[in-house]
Amino acid sequence: MRIALDPVACDGFGYCVEILPEVLSFDEWGFPVVFEGEVPDKLLGAARQAVRFCPRRALALQPAKGR
């Protein structure tokens, strides 16, 4: 699985980065940036939580490319 971010919907609340700092970080304007690649299996629970707690529904979990 991978995290997909809709930058238009995102308002930069930052909950996702607090929940999943291993996969997300902040850019210079305080908006989340998603690291390329798959979410490790051990972090899938946190990834689901980050998606669930996004107030703007700007995050989604998607199957990894090529699968």
Per residue in 5-63, pLDDT (tens digit) is 999 999 999 999 999 999 999 999 999 999 988 999 999 999 999 999 999 999 999 99
Which class is 2-62 in CATH?
alpha beta
Cα–Cα distance between 27 and 40 in angstroms, integer? 22
Q: Provide the whole-model pTM.
A: 0.90
pLDDT score of 67 more than 70: no
The alpha helices in the chain, defined as continuous H runs, are 15-19, 44-53
Cα–Cα distance between 31 and 64 in angstroms, integer? 23
Q: What does the block give as tokens for 46?
A: 């946190």
What ranges do the domains of the chain cover? 2-62
